[in-house]
Amino acid sequence: MSNVLLEARELHTYYGSSHILHGVDFCIHKGETLGLMGRNGMGKTTLIRSMLGLVKPRHGTVSVRGDVMTGGPTHRIARQGIAYVPEGRGIFPNLSVRENLQMAARAGVDGQRDWTFERVMQTFPRLAERINNGGGQLSGGEQQMLTIGRALMTNPDLLILDEATEGLAPLIVREIWRVIREIRDSGIATVIVDKNHAAVTSITDRSMIVVKGQVVFDGASTEVRNNPELIQKHLGV
């Protein structure tokens, strides 16, 4: 049996008449960690949205565990063990931290319940201290942690993190990287989009670089790390 979790072939996605993705191929396997990199506006988020059924690609196919599911529906793709932490935050501000987490709880595709409320509390001690606070009362960093906690409560096989550290204070950023490492080590496959290419390439097995809606690199993260020219050309500021 193949262990590909999520795969895309030849994706072309448009917003109105703007052609954003130009034939993108993508795949991630069980337990794999993948960095998705590229400068602003190159199409990383659009690629993720195209695979999750949040925007319908005009050409190409998306398959989840080998089943073609191009264009969604998103909830069916999520039920296949794929959790998405979008840029910006997706929590319920009027519910407490506890309620936010508990309402997301479910068993994974294979019935696994590794990520319990207690384990999320252990992973995010800061959230444990705020358990009865409303989601809206949390700092930006705590809200980001709660969003990741909610995703973990679904016991996913794949977690997609889009700019999880964006705009957060250095101390919180460090804590989020620690958590991402812990998630990776627990065996959950992860796709990590982040501007910090040094952090991304040190935590992932594989990296993809997207330039103007096309994949210009797909290979070992160590190859990116050891190639300053590649970094300068496609990722440097």
Ligand X SMILES: Nc1ncnc2c1ncn2[C@@H]1O[C@H](COP(=O)(O)OP(=O)(O)OP(=O)(O)O)[C@@H](O)[C@H]1O
Residue 114, both tokens? 């590794």
Of 157 and 163, CB closest to ligand X: 163
Of 45 and 165, CB closest to ligand X: 45
* Cα torsion angle, 110, 102, 165, 88, sign: positive
Q: Do 109 and 117 meet the contact criterion of CB atoms below 8 Å apart?
A: no
**Residue 4 burial (CB < 10 Å; 0-12/13-18/19+)?**
middle
* Residue showing tokens 């930006």: 140
Position among 7, 11, 46, 141 found at the interface with ligand X (CB under 6 A): 46
Of 99 and 166, CB closest to ligand X: 166
Residue 61 main-chain phi, psi, to 5 deg: -130, 150
* Under rule CB under 6 A, residue 44 binds ligand X: yes
Site map (CB under 6 A) of ligand X, residues 3-42, x = contact? ------------x--x-x-----------------x-xxx
* Under rule CB under 6 A, residue 88 binds ligand X: no
* Under rule CB under 6 A, residue 132 binds ligand X: no
Nearest distance, CB of residue 135 and ligand X, angstroms = 24
Nearest distance, CB of residue 59 and ligand X, angstroms = 17
Distance of CA 101 to the CA centre of its chain: 18
* Under rule CB under 6 A, residue 184 binds ligand X: no
Position among 6, 32, 33, 43 found at the interface with ligand X (CB under 6 A): 43
**What is the Cα–Cα distance from 104 to 116, expressed in whole angstroms?**
11
* Under rule CB under 6 A, residue 118 binds ligand X: no
Of 47 and 189, CB closest to ligand X: 47
Nearest distance, CB of residue 235 and ligand X, angstroms = 12
Distance of CA 214 to the CA centre of its chain: 19
Nearest distance, CB of residue 165 and ligand X, angstroms = 12
Site size with ligand X, rule: CB under 6 A = 11
Of 41 and 125, CB closest to ligand X: 41
**What is the Cα–Cα distance from 184 to 177, expressed in whole angstroms?**
10
Q: Do 224 and 58 meet the contact criterion of CB atoms below 8 Å apart?
A: no
Of 44 and 89, CB closest to ligand X: 44
* Under rule CB under 6 A, residue 234 binds ligand X: no
- Distant-in-sequence, close-in-space partners of 65: CB < 8 Å, separation ≥ 6: 4, 5, 80
DSSP string, 175-211: HHHHHHHHHHHTT-EEEEE-S-HHHHHHH-SEEEEEE
Of 98 and 212, CB closest to ligand X: 212
Positions that interact with ligand X (CB under 6 A):
15, 18, 20, 38, 40-46
